[in-house]
Amino acid sequence: MFFKPEITAIVGNAQVLCFGTPSDWATRAILQEGDQSKSPHLVHLLGEIAEKYGVTNFYCPTIQFTRKFVRDFEHFPYKLSLSYRVAKMHCGTVAEGRELHRGEAFVVAPADCSTIVASYAHGLYVCHAGLKSLLDFHKLGAAGIIHSSIVDELYKKIPREVRRFAQVGIFLPISAGRHYQHRFDDPVYGERNELLVKYLTRSFGDTCIVGDPSLGQIDLRAVICRQLELAGIVSQNIAPAILNSCPFLAKNSDGSSKWHSRRRTGDSSRNLVVVINE
């Protein structure tokens, strides 16, 4: 049985499939050959995607906030067999993004973080993007620039002369509001939160914060959009064009959420985003 994605989208040359509840799509248990039985529904789904979309290689890095892309498949030490035997799943390296060639797919299992897909005539890049992917927290409050972002690494890979033609999609960012607050009055992180909010507002504008700034309700998607625009990506080419069209608060028919969220519900399960270069 083919699991039906909650979101199916096309971004330039990319086919994007997003899966949510009720399944847990965490990839953390699958690292090397023999681990397939730890997440059989994920392995089966990727096999069906391979057969349907002609994917031969899935790249599934271990996500940490490195703000780094991994280039070659040789950097993935483990290669797992899938139910569709022609296809392989590459695991075992720490990174946040990768360039995708024809017949390849990128696999990421987020809970609150975004997935960015950037496509232009001669390239397709995909990356995971949480808030810690978008700036260097260790330098927060220090003099000078702290903007060290996965978006920086992304746009370096797109030639400046074609950036205005690139198509970009931002998938599953956590919604701005009470579930994603960085309050100034937090007894532990309040001072850092204030520095963070002021930095984001100064660097990327008021649209990055929703409502009362002291609540620190950061709009993750708006931060990504502003970084992309400052890099030369045309705002009209960033989908969806309507800022409020984030689907993260969408509900199932029984009132439950369509999406797992660690921040909103304490859910330790994960969603799944599969980006395919057909």
pLDDT of 47-58, one tens digit each? 999 999 999 999
Question: What 3-state DSSP class applies to 77?
Answer: coil
Give the DSSP H or E segment for 97.
strand 97-99
Q: How confident is the model at residue 36 (pLDDT cuts 50, 70, 90)?
A: confident
Q: Looking at the DSSP assignment, which residues form a beta bridge with residue 125?
A: 99, 118
Residue 128 DSSP SS3:
strand
Give 126's strand partners.
98, 117
Least confident range from 166-175, 182-191, 241-250: namely 241-250
Give me 119's structure tokens: 């496509």
Please report the sign of the dihedral spanned by the C-alpha atoms of residue 98, residue 103, residue 108, residue 113.
Answer: positive
Domain ranges of the chain: 7-174+246-277
| Least trusted range by pLDDT, from 7-11, 36-40, 48-52, 69-73 | 69-73
- What are the tokens at 227? 């970084």
Decide if pLDDT at 70 tops 90.
no
Residue 211 neighbours by CB distance under 10 Å: 12
pLDDT of 249 higher than 80? no
Pairing, β 57-59 against β 97-99: unpaired
Q: Residues of the chain with pLDDT > 90: what percent?
A: 63
**pTM score, whole prediction:** 0.93
**Three-state secondary-structure class, residue 215:** helix
Q: What is the pLDDT of residue 207?
A: 92
pLDDT at 237: 93
Tracing tokens 């330039």 back to the chain, one arrives at 12
CA dihedral 222, 172, 180, 167 (to 10 degrees): -10
CATH for 7-174+246-277, among 3.40.720, 3.60.140, 3.30.450, 3.90.550? 3.60.140
